[in-house]
Every structure is written in structure tokens, then in C-alpha cells.
């Protein structure tokens, strides 16, 4: 005779897990970030070179202008090396972030990007998020090492102001995100890595450095170069960090840029960087949505 099974024993052999969108985006981003970290771990020489390069700039330029007058830079009595430190730190962040798109462009050339795009990735923007997270982590390691070296080299009894340090990290993070988004956009639009390296190394690297206040104050420059410097986001980052490093207290109300045609305070510079950061992030998100997430 047929035996009926109780209803409470009718259970499926496997549980069906429903993954929400946020969790899936997190898992996708985490997987791609893990791959980028693995690539970096297998090529540690790239991190070493990117640390040595700014240190060489710091040592060589510091030695070149070590006999510059100590009252040369506005109201501050300081050596040129001390003046140079914030510029080298920000330029390190720029130099590291500008290569963010290099991983994408190599994946394009080797065909791996196509495999990622046809894989069941729900949100193609996870490619952007993972590249920015990877660039931010690696750049912060480089900046921390360079900052520690310069701090212990010029050691004084001046205490560390952690609020100013936090503001400085926010400023550097905005530069990393702005430049990383620009690099990612270039990686998706340029034909190959030769064009990418040519544009980033020849057309962006040195011109961006020399049209900022990394190596010299605005008072040293002709008016046309001052205008270019005020259009460069690195100038606002450098001057904000320089102002924070020269003052023990929170000094965002101090004037960081003073020219005949513009006066910028610390909070103005920070606001400009945050706005540029938001614009770059929105632009690259719309670009990826238009290019790969049309459906």
C-alpha cells in the first residue's frame, strides 16, 4: 500500500541562495581586486621603482637648491627640501595613479578583458571600482613610505597633528581618484599601450609637474604660467598639504594661492578637488554604462 510522506518532511536537497545586487557587486569587485593584488605581488619591482623615482627627485632637487635663501618662500623660514616634500608626495600619487589604466589596456591586448566582459558579471562598473581600489592601496603604501622617510630625515620635536594628517589623506585620495579615472578612460579609448605610455609619460607627466607648484612657488612664475598652475588640480592638492604641514593647527582658512587675479583659501582648494573628484567619477561611470551596459 502507498505510504504518504508527511508534508513537513518534503524539503529540497539543496538550498537556493538569492544574492542581492549589492552583495554581488561586492563579490565581483573583490574578485577583480584580488587578481590585481596577485599581479602586483608577482611583480614587486614595480612598487620599488615607483618609490625610488620620487626619492631621487627629492634628493636631487633638494641637493640642487640646498643653498637657496631660507626666507625665499613667503612668510615661512624653511629649507628648499622642506618646501619640496609636499610636491613630491602629491606627484608620487599622480605618477602612480596615471598608470592605473595600464592593467586594463594590457587585458585588452591579451584578450582577457573580453573574457571578463562576457563572463556573468552583472555590473561592469566593478572593473572601475577594482582598479581604483587597487591604485589607492598601492599609492597609499608608496606615499606612506616616502612620508615616513622624509619625516625621520627632517625629524623635529613638532608633534603629529592627526586631524591635519586625515585632511591630507583625503586630499591625496581625491587626486588618486581623479587621475585614476582619467587613466581608465584613456585605457578604454586609446588603441594600445604604446599610445597610452606615450601620452601619459610624454604629454602628461612632466608638463603636469612643471605647471604646478611642486618645484617652485607661484611668485617665481610669469603670469601665463601662474594661470596654467591655477588650472592644474595638483596645485590645489600640493598647496593644501603644504599649508597643513607648515601649521600645527587646522588651517583650512589660510590663503594657499595668492595671485593678482585669484585668491584661494584651504577649504576652497579642498572643495575644488572634491567637485573634480565627483565629476570624474560620474563621467567614467556614464562612459562605462554607455559602452558596456547599454542593456
Integer Cα distance of 208 and 210 in angstroms: 6
pLDDT at 70: 53
Integer Cα distance of 137 and 140 in angstroms: 5
Q: What is the pTM of this model?
A: 0.81
* 8 in a structural domain: no
* 33 in a structural domain: yes
pLDDT at 189: 83
* 18 in a structural domain: no
pLDDT at 32: 81
* 21 in a structural domain: no
Q: Which domain holds residue 165?
A: 28-292
* 17 in a structural domain: no
If we measure between CA atoms, which residue out of 46, 79, 49 comes closest to residue 64?
79
* 262 in a structural domain: yes
* 7 in a structural domain: no
pLDDT at 72: 56
Residues in contact with 164: Cβ distance below 8 Å, sequence separation at least 6, in sequence order = 244, 245, 247, 250, 251
Residues of the chain with pLDDT under 50: 1-2, 16, 18, 295
DSSP code at position 265? E
Domain count, the chain: 1
pLDDT at 18: 47
pLDDT in tens, 13-28: 555 454 556 676 677 7
Amino acid at each position: 500500500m502507498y505510504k504518504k510522506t508527511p508534508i513537513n518532511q518534503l524539503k529540497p536537497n539543496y538550498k537556493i541562495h538569492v544574492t542581492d545586487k549589492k552583495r554581488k557587486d561586492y563579490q565581483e569587485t573583490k574578485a577583480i581586486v584580488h587578481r590585481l593584488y596577485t599581479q602586483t605581488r608577482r611583480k614587486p619591482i614595480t612598487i620599488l621603482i615607483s618609490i625610488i623615482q620620487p626619492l631621487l627627485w627629492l634628493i636631487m632637487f633638494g641637493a640642487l637648491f640646498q643653498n637657496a635663501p631660507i626666507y625665499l618662500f613667503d612668510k615661512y623660514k624653511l629649507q628648499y627640501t622642506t618646501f619640496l616634500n609636499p610636491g613630491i608626495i602629491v606627484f608620487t600619487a599622480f605618477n602612480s595613479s596615471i598608470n592605473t589604466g595600464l592593467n586594463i589596456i594590457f587585458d585588452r591586448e591579451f584578450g582577457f578583458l573580453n573574457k571578463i566582459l562576457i563572463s556573468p558579471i552583472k555590473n561592469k562598473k566593478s572593473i572601475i571600482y577594482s582598479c581604483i581600489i587597487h591604485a589607492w592601496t598601492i599609492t597609499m603604501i608608496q606615499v606612506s613610505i616616502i612620508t615616513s622617510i622624509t619625516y625621520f630625515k627632517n625629524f623635529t620635536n613638532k608633534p603629529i597633528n592627526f586631524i591635519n594628517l586625515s585632511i591630507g589623506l583625503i586630499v591625496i585620495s581625491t587626486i588618486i581618484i581623479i587621475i585614476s579615472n582619467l587613466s581608465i578612460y584613456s585605457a578604454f579609448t586609446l588603441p594600445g599601450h604604446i599610445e597610452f605610455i606615450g601620452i601619459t609619460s610624454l604629454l602628461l607627466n612632466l608638463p603636469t609637474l612643471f605647471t604646478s607648484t611642486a618645484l617652485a612657488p607661484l611668485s617665481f612664475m610669469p603670469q601665463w604660467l601662474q594661470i596654467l598652475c591655477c588650472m592644474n588640480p595638483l596645485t590645489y592638492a600640493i598647496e593644501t598639504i603644504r599649508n597643513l604641514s607648515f601649521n600645527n593647527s587646522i588651517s583650512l582658512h589660510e590663503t594657499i594661492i595668492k595671485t593678482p587675479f585669484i585668491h584661494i583659501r584651504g577649504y576652497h582648494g579642498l572643495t575644488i578637488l572634491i567637485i573634480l573628484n565627483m565629476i570624474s567619477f560620474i563621467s567614467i561611470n556614464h562612459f562605462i554604462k554607455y559602452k558596456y551596459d547599454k542593456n
